[in-house]
Structure 1
Amino acid sequence: MVDALLIDIDGTLIDSNPLHTLAWLRAFRRLGREVEANRVLHLIGMGGDQLAPTILGEEAGEDADRAKEIWIEEYSRRGLVDHAEPLPGAADLLLTLKERGVRVSLASSGEQQDIDRYVELLGGREMFDELVSSSDVAQTKPAPDIFAVALERLGGPTSAAVIGDTVFDIEAAGKLGLPCVAVLSGGIERQLLEEAGAAAVYADAADVLAHLDAVLGA
């Protein structure tokens, strides 16, 4: 039975992926690049260190760094983050996991200041045993570093699993031999999540809660 969960936040617990997409589109536009929104949406889940070079090319160098800076400015400082809200069932899922004694680490490629805000929306710091963000690792998803740090901070649980909304969550989890339960609330198509190797796919956090015994293997 799973005794620890590593849970992504953007698109999994918080409805923020469209807002991040808009922030990135504004960033690329300010650099003179027009990028399709759908392409950006399908890269949300990577950290800014990975997403900008993926769009601009590995040789982008300073432009990629500048794009990340503008994305943070547009999302965090110009108020897009203020429109982010918990997804259906997110707070209830966390509360139920706490009541059942399942240890939970937030494990996100996001920026720490945004995560701090999200955590308050979800009931406060006490809802999580550990918090791991991009500031804690050298590389964000799809590298496995964030999940590896989360496992270490949880003390090496007997059986752990991941809940996330992107193929990058699934890929990063797979590199550590962890199953990943995926949700559709981030906007990624079921087929892509299944092809990436999701252990199961649910609509959102509320749907995960409704099937929690199956998710935990109880």
Structure 2
Amino acid sequence: MRKAVIFDLDGTLANTDEVHKLAWEIALRKMGYEVKVDIRHLLGRKTIDIAKILIGESNAEKLASVKTEIYNELVKTLAKPKPCVIDLINRLRDVKIPIAVVTSSMRNSAVQVLKVIKVEPDVLVAGDDVKLGKPNPMPVIEAIKRLNVDPNESVGIGDTIYDVMAYYSAGIREILVVRSSVPLNEEEVRKYDAKILDSLCEISDWFEFF
């Protein structure tokens, strides 16, 4: 029996995957670095972890801080809910299914985005709430604990392989992956028996799933 749903935020509930990419690019250039990689492949990890991958340890904290400041300004005007998000959340509320949001974003950024898209989860676990972020299962395990449910009673929904890995390692076996701007290796995703959706509208269309 499904007793809870755990959502990723950026690229899943909100269109902010693209906003994160833009903020990283602006922050890198502001600090004098060239953008040499496709940042979309890193989205889903904690901010500080991405910063370390991009420029190494020495200036990572500064880059993470600059990026977060830029991002928090951008989301005020650019953040929007993904298609069918509000309808799906309302339906879950109607059937008394608790909702958690597990995000690699900093808490202040996540709270701001959730306010903009008008989603109020029962539980929010952000990147600065736990020591290790996705793909490590620690944030998902924390959400399950706060929801007071078992992993096999939970559904995990995200848009990246890091979401899938975190859900699976936490014991969740019902995993849905929603396409976003983040490149998706479908073969890798299906190794975890995850179902790939074009949008959350597909869940609304067959809501008997819950």
Q: TM-score, normalised by structure 2?
A: 0.89
Going from structure 1 to structure 2, the CA distance change for 1:123 and 1:193 (only over 3 Å counts) comes to farther
Are 2:125 and 2:142, in contact at CA under 8 Å, matched by a contact in 1? yes
1:191 aligns with 2:186: yes
Per the alignment, residue 44 of structure 1 pairs with: 43
Are 1:13 and 1:86, in contact at CA under 8 Å, matched by a contact in 2? yes
Distance in 2 separating the partners of 1:209 and 1:121 = 22
Local SS of the residue matching 2:201? helix
Shift of 1:172: 0.9
Shift of 1:11: 0.4
Going from structure 1 to structure 2, the CA distance change for 1:198 and 1:121 (only over 3 Å counts) comes to farther
Q: Calculate the aligned-residue CA RMSD, in Å.
A: 2.0
Per the alignment, residue 80 of structure 2 pairs with: 85
Distance in 2 separating the partners of 1:17 and 1:115 = 12
Going from structure 1 to structure 2, the CA distance change for 1:193 and 1:93 (only over 3 Å counts) comes to farther
Aligned length: 208
| Aligned residue among 64, 75, 80 for 1:68 | 64
Shift of 1:71: 0.6
Local SS of the residue matching 1:20? helix
Supply the AA of the counterpart residue of 1:25: E
Runs of 4+ in 1 over 4 A off after TM superposition: none
Are 1:19 and 1:81, in contact at CA under 8 Å, matched by a contact in 2? no
Shift of 1:65: 1.1
Per the alignment, residue 198 of structure 2 pairs with: 203
Distance in 2 separating the partners of 1:53 and 1:195 = 29
**Gap runs ≥5 in structure 2:** none
Supply the AA of the counterpart residue of 2:131: A
Supply the AA of the counterpart residue of 1:40: I
Local SS of the residue matching 1:169? helix
1:100 aligns with 2:95: yes
Counterparts of residues 81-160 of structure 1 (less than 5 Å): 81-125=76-120, 128-157=121-150, 159-160=153-154
Shift of 1:62: 2.8
Going from structure 1 to structure 2, the CA distance change for 1:21 and 1:81 (only over 3 Å counts) comes to farther
Distance in 2 separating the partners of 1:198 and 1:116 = 31
Q: TM-score, normalised by structure 1?
A: 0.86
